Amino acid sequence: MRRILQKRDVAGLLRFAQQYGGASQTRLAAATGIAQGRISEVLNGRKRVTAFEVFERIADGLGMPDQARMLLGLAPLNLAILTGDSAPATAPTARLPLPSVEEKEDRVKRRQFISLAGAGIAASAGSLAGVDRIAAALTRYSAPTTAPAPDLTVEALTKAVRAAKIGYQACHYGAVAQRLPALLDRLAVATAAFTGDDLRTVYVLQAEAYHVASSVLLKSEERGLAWLAADRSMQAAERSENPTTIGASTRIVTHALMKDRHYSPATELATRMAERVDHDTAQPSPDSLSVYGALLLRGAVAAAKNEDRAQALTLLDEAEEAGRRLGGDHNYQWTAFGPTNVLLHRVNIAVTLGDAGSAIDYARRVRLDNIDVTERKATLFIDAARAYAQWNKLDRAYEALMTAEQLAPEELRTRPAVHQLITDIHARSTGHLRTNMTELAERVRIAA
């Protein structure tokens, strides 16, 4: 059992529960909340479990003690065990437990608490300098009273927001985080100083700046602040009365929803807003078409995370059609949308659905020359590393991570999700590869 847990061999774990716990596939499905068909696919080797939340469901459903949970890479239920102050764990029952309604509610609360605690630990590992100043800028609720500065013009503000967008897409997250507080303050002053068309333009710029802030905060798992920034982006977009800006801000709201695992609402919001952008635009422009396609992609990712393969693939196909209508790869409305971006999302979604082979096949079709945005290019290689890790081709996973590091070192240093990937590959590595992974972990400032 130790070997099964350390290898995260879910099929072996479920077979063990069947053999020694007397559990049928139906009963395993009822206890873990995983569809019986998916249980069958895992047992038959057609599916491999890689998602953290699925491991947690299985651990909870099987009533695994803390020692077993920790071998599987999960947090213990009794967090005091980490300090050595906990009482010995109670031996598990011989048969699979079927929880009561009260136990299920307790389990949900415990999962939410551990998720938040884990996010806090991850954020401290990959947090950005300047986050406190961003927090201060986001929580200034009083009306600005500062007199307009000499450079408080639409042109100057446009240039500053453009620089923040370019910096984010180039993965210069630290530099962007340092500049954002002053930019957000300047935009707040401008909303009080300007009127008419200039004011509506400032609201568009404010929506974009808050979008950048939320994106940077989500990278480093500062989810509470990211939610606040995403909401501010949406409010500014609504005030701008610009349908395309509203659609663009919806993208970051759906991203924030997904970070907190609200996948169904994220899918619904993205698809509903895509329909709104399409409906409200009598003659589609490159901007509106790009936002429409990007929303479909965001909805597809959310559907995949919700294990809704059919909807994910349908939305991908619709986005692919939008890319054909757009006629090429562009960066309208800072979406980096086009046929290549759709292909990049096919890679990501295949990994999310556990289809490592398909993910690598899609990745090999990507023409890197068609990707102008560094953040998108680095994400491709991180997704390839995830796929290779699922496929147990750890050498190739390391090579993909090395390429991502060369392209965008901050993408590896900032993102706790990448830290977890590096830690997982390191734990499964041996020999020279383990040495290489240790060195990579040191460079991105995590302890492997």
| pLDDT digits 0-9 by tens, 152-195 | 899 999 999 999 999 999 999 999 999 999 999 999 999 999 99
Could you tell me where the DSSP H helices lie in 260-355? 263-280, 286-305, 309-326, 339-352
Unique residue bearing structure tokens 């390391």? 398
- For residue 143, what pLDDT is reported? 56
Q: Length of the chain in residues, anyone?
A: 448
**CB–CB of 59/32 below 8 Å?**
no
Mean pLDDT, the chain, rounded, equals 85
Q: How far is CA 381 from CA 1, 272, 329, 334, 436, in A?
A: 34, 31, 19, 21, 17
Q: Tell me whether the CATH fold assigned to 2-99 matches the one assigned to 338-448.
A: no
* pTM more than 0.85: no
- For residue 149, what pLDDT is reported? 63
DSSP H helix total and E strand total for the chain: 23, 0
- For residue 52, what pLDDT is reported? 66
How many CB atoms lie under 10 A from the CB of residue 26?
Answer: 10
Residue with the larger pLDDT of the pair 286 and 43: 286
Closest CA relative to residue 416, chosen from 184, 135, 191, 226: 226
With a pLDDT cut of 70, the percent of the chain lying above it is 85
Q: How far is CA 113 from CA 77, 103, 116, 117, 125, in A?
A: 10, 15, 5, 6, 19
33-47, 77-91, 215-229, 313-327: range with highest mean pLDDT = 313-327
- For residue 282, what pLDDT is reported? 72
With a pLDDT cut of 90, the percent of the chain lying above it is 62
pLDDT at 146 over 60: no
Unique residue bearing structure tokens 């806090």? 120
* Dihedral over Cα of 176, 178, 183, 185: its sign: positive
- For residue 251, what pLDDT is reported? 97
**CB–CB of 233/258 below 8 Å?**
no
Weakest-pLDDT range from 25-34, 255-264, 306-315: 25-34
- State how far the Cα of 361 lies from the Cα of 384, in Å rounded to an integer: 10
Domain residue extents for the chain? 2-99, 338-448
What's the mean pLDDT in 308-329?
96
DSSP-derived 3-state class of residue 282: coil
Residue with the larger pLDDT of the pair 82 and 410: 410
pLDDT range class, residue 142, cuts 50, 70, 90: low
Unique residue bearing structure tokens 């009306």? 143
- State how far the Cα of 57 lies from the Cα of 67, in Å rounded to an integer: 16
Task: Report residue 302 as tokens.
Answer: 């959310």
Residues 6+ apart with CB under 8 A from 261: 53, 115, 305
- State how far the Cα of 369 lies from the Cα of 381, in Å rounded to an integer: 14
Closest CA relative to residue 134, chosen from 224, 71, 239: 224
pLDDT range class, residue 438, cuts 50, 70, 90: very high
pLDDT range class, residue 4, cuts 50, 70, 90: confident
pLDDT range class, residue 99, cuts 50, 70, 90: very low
Per-residue pLDDT of 329-380, as tens digits, reads: 999 999 999 999 999 999 999 999 999 999 999 999 999 999 999 999 999 9
Task: Concatenate the DSSP letters of all residues of 377-433 into one string.
Answer: HHHHHHHHHHHHHHTT-HHHHHHHHHHHHHH-HHHHHH-HHHHHHHHHHHHH--HHH
- State how far the Cα of 21 lies from the Cα of 44, in Å rounded to an integer: 19
Per-residue pLDDT of 72-91, as tens digits, reads: 777 667 655 444 444 444 43
* Dihedral over Cα of 74, 79, 83, 86: its sign: negative
What's the CA angle centered on 164, arms 159 and 165, to 5 degrees?
Answer: 95
- For residue 78, what pLDDT is reported? 66
**Amino acid identity at 195:** T
How many CB atoms lie under 10 A from the CB of residue 88?
Answer: 9
- What is 2-99's CATH number? 1.10.260
Unique residue bearing structure tokens 């995260």? 8
- State how far the Cα of 69 lies from the Cα of 76, in Å rounded to an integer: 6
- What is 338-448's CATH number? 1.25.40.10
Per-residue pLDDT of 192-251, as tens digits, reads: 999 999 999 999 999 999 999 999 999 988 999 999 999 999 999 999 999 999 999 999
- For residue 64, what pLDDT is reported? 87
- State how far the Cα of 124 lies from the Cα of 121, in Å rounded to an integer: 5
pLDDT at 95 over 50: no
Unique residue bearing structure tokens 């589609």? 284
